[in-house]
Structure 1
Amino acid sequence: MLNIDEPAHLQPKVALFRLGFRPFFLFASLFSLLSLGIWGGLLSGKFSLPSTLNPLWWHGHEMIFGFVCAVVAGFLLTAVQNWTGRPGIKGLPLAGLFMVWLLPRFLFILPFSIPLTAIMAIDLLFLPLTATLLAISVIEVRQWRNFVFIPILGLLTVFNGMSYYGLTTNQLNWMNNGLYAAVILVAVIVALLGGRVIPFFTERATKWQKQSPIPAIEYLSFASLMALAVSLFLADTLLTRIFAGIAGLVLLFRWSRWGWRASWSVPLLWSLHLSYLCIPIGLMLIAAGLPLSVGMHAITVGGLGGMILAMMSRVSLGHTGRSLTPPRPMVLAFALILLATVLRVLAGILSAWFIELMLTAIAFWILAFGCFCYCYGPMLCRVRADGRPG
């Protein structure tokens, strides 16, 4: 892990804005507690959103473009410092980017109606601004390997705009297909990063020896996921099932070579391995012809949510100068997010128990990410334990 040394007087006084992971990890997690609490209230009839807002769209949009994309931004804005050796965004510029993300989240749920075009205009700025900041660092050192994340963030912005278009024109297909395609595009990011870090972390923490990637498998995994994203946007059911099956099998084979058998004694490893496994499982559920929502929630709750929880736990320890041993409650949190995944998948299959399973899954998510906020919130708001910048 690379640490950029800077004089103390150049570091922001507010520790929360010393590096990108700090505000985005903490407030994305807090926001997930709020948004899923509201979603549970909507399902149980105890809460309502402004009448102009589609609740299903709001839930899907805010979990993808509110929660997930904030964590992705926090991770990339932190990792780019390690990749390029250039200091990451901090201080007032980071606080400004954070506010661009935060403002739409609260404008949506205010008890009075805010013009959707105003919220949309702010929200659609976030990912392009993040991509621009990444591009400046990557291009300056000509590190083209990591340039791939810039067009992916651009495509996510396109899918976000398409989902807004569906909302404003009351076209359900545009709303759903834009969100579904965005999920798969985020899965591409997770697949890229997972292929780099999971085998590396496993080798460092165990006696397992890392194997060299197979170029054809690497290429096919990303090509099949991108083809799946396109098929979802086009709403072609047959192509969606075909590409989901191909991507699921390829990602499963890829994961099988990452030393999962050696991970069971290390919570920061088995949490990564099992969460990543939820992505090919979700893809196979889609390929099998189950309702699209079933496979998508295996990917979003277990694959994205679980990977986010595990990665935030590890990155937060390393980048605050602490040993890579998570607080004890986090072991329970890792298990709870996997249980929430099982329950959410079952809710889409066992319709007679839908509400009960959904509310229990929501409760498990809230407990899991509540543990993260409780354990890591103080770390993220304080200077590094070793006194170094970041």
Structure 2
Amino acid sequence: MLNIDEPAHLQPKMALFRLGFRPFFLFASVFSVFALIVWGGFLSGINVLPNTLNPLWWHGHEMIFGFTCAVVAGFLLTAVQNWTGRPGVKGLALLGLFCVWLLPRILLFAPFGIPFTLIMVLDLLFLPLTATLLAISVIQVRQWRNFVFIPILSLLTLLNAASYYGLLTQKFEWINNGLYGAILVISIIVALLGGRVIPFFTERATQWQRESSLPWLEWLSFASLLALTMSLFLQHELSIRVIAGLASLVLLLRWNRWGWRASWGVPLLWSLHLSYLCIPIGLALIAVGLPLSVGMHAITVGGLGGMILAMMSRVSLGHTGRQLKPPRPVVLGFALILIATLLRVFAGILTQWSSEFLLGAISGWILAFGCFCYCYGPMLCQPRADGRPG
């Protein structure tokens, strides 16, 4: 891991804003717990959402663009420091970006009539601002390999705008296309980063020897996910199922080359491997003709949620100067996310028990990310244990 040495007086006094992973990992996790408590209450007949807000849109939008994109931003703003060797965004700039993310989450609940258009504009600014900060670092050192995240974040912004357009015009297919499309684009980010870090971490922590990547398999995995994103807007069911099946097979073949058999004794490894596996499983569920929401929730809860929990756990330990050994409650959280994934899939298949399965899945998520907040909150709010910057 590359560490950037800076004089102590250049470090922000508040440790929470010394590097991007700190505020976004912590507050995105807190927000996800809050959002699912609200959603679980709504499903149980207790609605605290404003009457003017579409509950289905709010749940999908906030879990994708509120929670997941915040974690993606925190990870990328931290990783770009290692990639480029330049100090990451910190201090007032990081605080400003954090406020741009936080304000729309709060204002949607504000009792004093904030124009929805203003909230929308603020929300749509977050990813372009993140992309701009990334681009500045990448361009300065001409590291074009990592410039790929700039158009990906731009595409996510367009999909966010599509979901808002669908909400404002009552064209619900646009809401679904925007949200489902965003899930697949974030899956591209996970596939891209997973291909870099999962085999690397597995090789370092076990006796497994990494194989050279196959360029055609790498490109086909990203191309198939992008094609599936485009096919959603065409609304052609056969194309969606065929491309989902292809993407599932390609991602599964790619994952099979990453040493998963050697990972079972290391929680920070098996959590990554099993979470990643949920993405091709979710795609396979779509390919066999199950409702689109079933496969998408396998991807979001297990693939994205599980991968986020595992990566946040590892990155937070490494970047706060601690040993790579997660607290026991968080290891339990890794298992709870996988259980929540199964329950959420069953909720879409065994519809006669959907309420029970849904509330079980929500409870699993709340407990898992609650464990993360409890165990990692103090680490993220305190200076590094080894005294280094960041």
Q: Same fold (TM over 0.5)?
A: yes
Residue in 2 that maps onto 1:163: 163
Q: Which amino acid aligns with 1:366?
A: I
Q: Which amino acid aligns with 1:72?
A: V
Structure 1 residue 48: deviation in Å? 3.4
Q: Which amino acid aligns with 1:357?
A: F
Number of residue pairs matched by the alignment: 390
Q: TM-score, normalised by structure 1?
A: 0.99
1:138-180 Cα shifts (integer Å, max 9, x gaps) = 0110101100000000000000001000000011100111100
Question: In 2, Cα distance between the equivalents of 1:89 and 1:26?
Answer: 17
Q: Is the 8 A contact 1:206 1:262 kept in 2?
A: yes
DSSP 3-state at the match of 2:369: helix
Residue in 1 that maps onto 2:342: 342
DSSP 3-state at the match of 1:148: helix
Q: Is there any run of 5+ residues in structure 2 with no aligned partner, and where?
A: none
Residue in 2 that maps onto 1:101: 101
Residue in 2 that maps onto 1:115: 115
Structure 1 residue 242: deviation in Å? 1.1
Q: Which amino acid aligns with 1:79?
A: A
Q: Is the 8 A contact 1:177 1:234 kept in 2?
A: no
Residue in 2 that maps onto 1:213: 213
Q: Which amino acid aligns with 1:208?
A: W
Question: In 2, Cα distance between the equivalents of 1:227 and 1:210?
Answer: 29
Structure 1 residue 328: deviation in Å? 1.2
Question: In 2, Cα distance between the equivalents of 1:361 and 1:112?
Answer: 33
Question: In 1, Cα distance between the equivalents of 2:134 and 2:89?
Answer: 9
1:282-306 Cα shifts (integer Å, max 9, x gaps) = 0000001000000000000000000
Structure 1 residue 47: deviation in Å? 1.8
Question: In 2, Cα distance between the equivalents of 1:156 and 1:94?
Answer: 21
Q: Which amino acid aligns with 2:379?
A: M
Instruction: Tell whether 2:60 aligns with 1:32.
Output: no
Question: In 1, Cα distance between the equivalents of 2:365 and 2:127?
Answer: 25
Q: Is the 8 A contact 1:11 1:389 kept in 2?
A: yes
Question: In 1, Cα distance between the equivalents of 2:120 and 2:293?
Answer: 25
Q: Which amino acid aligns with 1:51?
A: N
Residue in 2 that maps onto 1:327: 327
Question: In 2, Cα distance between the equivalents of 1:85 and 1:164?
Answer: 37
Same amino acid, percent of matched pairs: 77
Q: Which moved more, 1:178-187 or 1:105-114?
A: 105-114
Question: In 1, Cα distance between the equivalents of 2:92 and 2:48?
Answer: 35
1:5-51 Cα shifts (integer Å, max 9, x gaps) = 00001000000000000000000000000000000011011123212
Question: In 2, Cα distance between the equivalents of 1:123 and 1:258?
Answer: 36
Structure 1 residue 110: deviation in Å? 2.9
DSSP 3-state at the match of 2:80: helix
Instruction: Tell whether 2:87 aligns with 1:87.
Output: yes
Q: Which moved more, 1:236-245 or 1:70-79?
A: 236-245
1:79-101 Cα shifts (integer Å, max 9, x gaps) = 00000001000000000000000
Q: Is the 8 A contact 1:22 1:74 kept in 2?
A: yes
Structure 1 residue 331: deviation in Å? 1.1
Q: TM-score, normalised by structure 2?
A: 0.99
Q: Is the 8 A contact 1:49 1:109 kept in 2?
A: yes
Q: Is the 8 A contact 1:252 1:277 kept in 2?
A: yes
Question: In 2, Cα distance between the equivalents of 1:235 and 1:65?
Answer: 23
Question: In 1, Cα distance between the equivalents of 2:361 and 2:113?
Answer: 30
Question: In 1, Cα distance between the equivalents of 2:69 and 2:164?
Answer: 16
Question: In 2, Cα distance between the equivalents of 1:220 and 1:113?
Answer: 47
1:56-108 Cα shifts (integer Å, max 9, x gaps) = 01000000000000000000000000000010000000000000000001111
Residue in 2 that maps onto 1:194: 194
DSSP 3-state at the match of 2:108: helix
Residue in 2 that maps onto 1:234: 234
Structure 1 residue 249: deviation in Å? 0.2
Q: Is the 8 A contact 1:28 1:70 kept in 2?
A: yes
Spell out the pairing of 1:309-320 with structure 2 (5 A cutoff): 309-320=309-320
Structure 1 residue 113: deviation in Å? 4.2
